[in-house]
Amino acid sequence: MKELKGAAIIGQSGGPSSVINASAYGAIKAGLESKNITRVLGALNGIRGVLDDNLIDMGKEDPAELALMKYTPSSALGSCRYKLADPDVDDSDYKRILEIFKKYDVRYFFYNGGNDSMDTCNKISKFMMKNGYECRVMGIPKTIDNDLAGTDHCPGFASAAKYIATATMEIFRDANVYDSGMVTVLEIMGRNAGWLTAAASLANLKGQGPDFIYLPEVDFDIDAFLEKAVEVYNKKKKVFIAVSEGIHDKDGKLIAEYGSDTAQTKDSFGHAQLGGVGAYLAGLLKAKTGSKTRSVEFSLLQRCAAHCASQTDIEESFSAGQAAVENAVNGITDKMVGFERVMEDGKYSCRIKLFDLNVVANAEKKVPMDWITETQDGVNEKFAEYALPLIQGQTQLTTEDGLPRFVNLKKVKA
Amino acid sequence: MKELKGAAIIGQSGGPSSVINASAYGAIKAGLESKNITRVLGALNGIRGVLDDNLIDMGKEDPAELALMKYTPSSALGSCRYKLADPDVDDSDYKRILEIFKKYDVRYFFYNGGNDSMDTCNKISKFMMKNGYECRVMGIPKTIDNDLAGTDHCPGFASAAKYIATATMEIFRDANVYDSGMVTVLEIMGRNAGWLTAAASLANLKGQGPDFIYLPEVDFDIDAFLEKAVEVYNKKKKVFIAVSEGIHDKDGKLIAEYGSDTAQTKDSFGHAQLGGVGAYLAGLLKAKTGSKTRSVEFSLLQRCAAHCASQTDIEESFSAGQAAVENAVNGITDKMVGFERVMEDGKYSCRIKLFDLNVVANAEKKVPMDWITETQDGVNEKFAEYALPLIQGQTQLTTEDGLPRFVNLKKVKA
């Protein structure tokens, strides 16, 4: 292995998660401790920070304060949703990145984000190789959606899942407190993959979960749904439902669109901005049953409720960041750090595994069809077997005045 | 003091809270340990359980399981919203209650709830006195709204406040992660009293809180609001607002009603069912700024997120339940247990104080006007001084499989 000395840039991108900073901190800490990495630079607002030469010197931060990143939600370096062009069409951004890399003698680039970020990472890696600029590029995954290909699971998923399962149990108890009728619909994030919505099923292990769970992996039939839900309501005077924001009919039309005649806005990656399916279904059930109804959106908290994060997720995310740096220093490039599940004597452990950026970028992993019940309104025990080890352990978040003590970076310009 | 031997009934009523069961458990435990209380009966679904002779024997529960009540949200005995008639108009419910009291030789009645429950408690107490049936009646308060008269604060408020402040900090970080514009509006419970909304200000102590906070104690002027919010947005490309669901214009019209032409439904106490003011204001700001906007309703979780409860609140709530029983056994009746704040050398402690049910029932305590800023868009340091001691300590909730272990009662019929 050829030793490579130079600066490292770490950037964060995409939607926040409770543990994205645990990964970034793992990489920053390992970078600051590495004898080959001369300087650790943070790119503010992801790749935009590189393009705009908006970099901070992580070595200037107080180490104890920096360590709080491990328990702080939502990209501490800031995020972006900027999508790099296809370099064959327009390579001006890439040239600018190369210019910045040369300016700071950047030989290590770590990018911390979801599918789109792995795509960014992949494009930069290939461009640098093609142009003969030696720079080791590693992707550090993060996505509550758990939809990255290859890796057993994604940093961030477990904390969101733990929050969703916990909050589902609490809302279940709330919904069952009166002897009068109650229809409850939980709307959970997940455009195409139902991992997060499936997490509501963990509440069922405690007998405090949904009657029905609908994932975007299967077509949603409104009439069949109403019939089933009303039947349960008539029996118990209660029905409790969890739906993914991305459920759709057999023609692919989003159920959210049924309830809304407002045009769907799209973000810069072309993703539709969803919402409202829970309220729509609750409204239909209100009309059918006359019951009091509650539609609850877990909204932003499912991706930023660090106070309910999984310590397993935090430690794994931290180790993913560390492993990215250690592997890069050891000569590896053009990979994403991921996880391999190891089960020994029924005991879970997690091993770092590297994946080709080519394979990961823009692929999407869904909940396997054989984990979904035959009636397509729930998940079976395979999901719990998969998810339970990941949500173990309460966050060791520091508190101050009864509130979380999150990181406060000085952000000294590089 | 005359010794009084007999059974005790404990019932829970009104909306759930994270710690209502801590109080009930305090009363049940003290009742089971008292030599004068022959039997502790739980009324299922509050006063309805008495009227319907639907009582369970708390002594038949496994003590270790019962102890989990202390950390379980949402009335474990079930709740109701049943309002007793004025006994001068229709005393049939009261006669039925007396009949049940006689059937089980009930000499102690503990009712755990909010304003309306204290009213129920008061009416039952006065009826029993008038009819010469010796029964000691004590109210054990609970309300996240913190609006009961007399007591320094209400069991349940602090846990809701801690959740709101914590979640506000987390959402603040989420809202500030991108370099693009973002308007965030948090909608928080509180019809007439702004205690919960004011709790969002605790996030400001950490520099991660709202620019503006609007309470129902003051009139809300939409035009002035928009002007201020747009000004902040233009400066920072971000504006972060917390509003109470109950904010209203100078004529008393709810701002929620501006946004909705659907008729307000009312519950059996005549309270309007609110909602939508956050989305309405976010929509107005979107039109003014063109920014991406997020409207987040804390919804049910602010009253049932036991995983984020204040241990101080849990212990105080527990002691309120205990004190109700101990005082009743010692001859006290017709009172509500409340709290008196003791500050010694700047250190907070909380002492039990008894209040006349007459005084408490149906009065409403609001945030003092001199705690609200002159510009009427926030609260001053007096609120933090008041609230901070109450939110100290993380819940000591037992977990199992990474999830809360809530109580599971056998509910053996009495």
Q: Per residue in B279-306, pLDDT tens?
A: 899 999 999 999 999 999 998 999 999 9
Annotated catalytic residue, options B93, B116, B145, B211: B145
CA A3 to chain B, closest CA, distance in angstroms equals: 35
What integer pLDDT is reported at residue B265 of this predicted model? Answer: 41
For residue B411, pLDDT beyond 60 = yes
For residue B263, pLDDT beyond 50 = no
Please tell me if residue B260 touches chain A, with a CB cutoff of 8 Å. Answer: no
Torsion over CA of A307, A312, A317 and A318, rounded to 10 degrees? 90
Suggest the residue from A79, A168, A307, A381 to mutate for an interface test with chain B (most B CBs closer than 10 A): A307
Is A145 part of the annotated catalytic residue set? yes
Suggest the residue from A19, A51, A170, A182 to mutate for an interface test with chain B (most B CBs closer than 10 A): A170
A9 within 8 A of A41, measured Cβ to Cβ: yes
Cβ separation A170–B308 shorter than 8 A: no
Q: Locate the chain A residue with the closest alpha carbon to B304.
A: A170
| CB crowding A194-210: b at 16 or more within 10 Å, else e | bbbbbbbbbbbbbebbb
In CATH, what class is A157-304?
A: alpha beta
What integer pLDDT is reported at residue A115 of this predicted model? Answer: 84
What integer pLDDT is reported at residue B260 of this predicted model? Answer: 59
Helices and strands (DSSP H and E) totals, chain B: 14, 13
Closest CA to A69 of A301, A282, A321: A321
CB burial of residue B87 (10 Å; 0-12, 13-18, 19+): middle
**Residue B406 and residue A171: Cα distance in Å, rounded?**
12
What integer pLDDT is reported at residue A293 of this predicted model? Answer: 93
CATH of domain B6-144+306-363: 3.40.50.450
B72: chain A residues, CB-CB within 8 Å: 173
A178: chain B residues, CB-CB within 8 Å: 45, 78-81
CATH 3.40.50.450 in chain B: give the residue spans.
6-144+306-363
For residue B261, pLDDT beyond 60 = no
Helices and strands (DSSP H and E) totals, chain A: 14, 13
Please tell me if residue A45 touches chain B, with a CB cutoff of 8 Å. Answer: yes
Sign of CA dihedral A309, A312, A318, A321: negative
CATH 3.40.50.450 in chain A: give the residue spans.
6-144+306-363+394-404
Cβ separation B173–A74 shorter than 8 A: yes
Please tell me if residue B112 touches chain A, with a CB cutoff of 8 Å. Answer: no
Cβ separation B394–A392 shorter than 8 A: no
Please tell me if residue B304 touches chain A, with a CB cutoff of 8 Å. Answer: yes
Amino acid at A11: G
Please tell me if residue A179 touches chain B, with a CB cutoff of 8 Å. Answer: yes
Cβ separation A402–B310 shorter than 8 A: yes
CATH 3.40.50.460 in chain A: give the residue spans.
157-304
Please tell me if residue B171 touches chain A, with a CB cutoff of 8 Å. Answer: yes
Cβ separation B81–A401 shorter than 8 A: no
Please tell me if residue B50 touches chain A, with a CB cutoff of 8 Å. Answer: no
Annotated catalytic residue, options A145, A147, A211, A313: A145
Q: Locate the chain A residue with the closest alpha carbon to B166.
A: A403
Cβ separation B80–A179 shorter than 8 A: yes
For B44-55, the pLDDT digits (tens) are 999 999 999 999
Which among A79, A310, A406 has the least Cβ separation from residue B178? A79
What integer pLDDT is reported at residue A273 of this predicted model? Answer: 43
Cβ separation A174–B303 shorter than 8 A: yes
Interface of B with A in 201-230 (CB under 8 A): 202-203, 205-208
CA B132 to chain A, closest CA, distance in angstroms equals: 32
Please tell me if residue B75 touches chain A, with a CB cutoff of 8 Å. Answer: yes
At residue B359 the predicted structure's pLDDT band, cuts being 50, 70 and 90, is confident
Suggest the residue from A19, A142, A166 to mutate for an interface test with chain B (most B CBs closer than 10 A): A166
Q: Locate the chain A residue with the closest alpha carbon to B398.
A: A394
Please tell me if residue B294 touches chain A, with a CB cutoff of 8 Å. Answer: yes
For B138-171, the pLDDT digits (tens) are 999 999 999 998 999 999 999 999 999 999 999 9
Query: What's the CATH architecture for B158-304?
Result: 3-Layer(aba) Sandwich (3.40)
Q: Which CATH number fits domain A6-144+306-363+394-404: 3.40.50.450, 3.40.640.10, 3.30.70.3040, 3.20.20.70?
A: 3.40.50.450
Enclosing H/E stretch for B198: helix B195-199
Cβ separation A392–B408 shorter than 8 A: no
Q: Locate the chain B residue with the closest alpha carbon to A310.
A: B402
Q: Locate the chain A residue with the closest alpha carbon to B80.
A: A178
Q: Locate the chain B residue with the closest alpha carbon to A173.
A: B74
At residue B363 the predicted structure's pLDDT band, cuts being 50, 70 and 90, is confident
Angle at A355 between CA A353 and CA A358, to 5 degrees: 175
What integer pLDDT is reported at residue B374 of this predicted model? Answer: 96
CATH 3.40.50.460 in chain B: give the residue spans.
158-304
Q: Locate the chain B residue with the closest alpha carbon to A168.
A: B301
**Higher pLDDT among residues B339 and B268, named by residue:** B339
The distance of Cα B284 from the centroid of its chain, to the nearest Å, equals 31
CB burial of residue B272 (10 Å; 0-12, 13-18, 19+): middle
Q: Give the pair of three-digit tokens for residue A318.
A: 């931290």
Closest CA to A407 of A45, A112, A77: A77
Suggest the residue from A173, A180, A315, A395 to mutate for an interface test with chain B (most B CBs closer than 10 A): A173
Which among A297, A304, A308 has the least Cβ separation from residue B173? A304
Which among B174, B179, B388 has the least Cβ separation from residue A303? B174
Q: What is the mean pLDDT for each group of 10 consecutive residues in chain A (414 residues)?
A: 93 93 98 98 98 98 98 97 92 97 98 91 96 97 92 97 98 94 96 97 96 98 98 98 97 86 42 67 94 91 96 98 98 96 95 90 87 97 98 96 97 97
CA A16 to chain B, closest CA, distance in angstroms equals: 6
CA A298 to chain B, closest CA, distance in angstroms equals: 9
Cα–Cα distances in angstroms (integers) from residue B104 to residues A268, B5, B40, B41, in the given order:
68, 12, 10, 9
For residue B394, pLDDT beyond 50 = yes
Cβ separation A171–B301 shorter than 8 A: yes
Cα–Cα distances in angstroms (integers) from residue B247 to residues A238, B145, B201, B212, B373, in the given order:
32, 15, 17, 13, 16
Please tell me if residue A287 touches chain B, with a CB cutoff of 8 Å. Answer: no
B178: chain A residues, CB-CB within 8 Å: 45, 78-81
**Interface contacts (A, B; CB < 8 Å):** 174
**Residue B226 and residue B228: Cα distance in Å, rounded?**
6
A277 within 8 A of A255, measured Cβ to Cβ: yes
A215 within 8 A of A188, measured Cβ to Cβ: no
Please tell me if residue A144 touches chain B, with a CB cutoff of 8 Å. Answer: no
Please tell me if residue B176 touches chain A, with a CB cutoff of 8 Å. Answer: yes
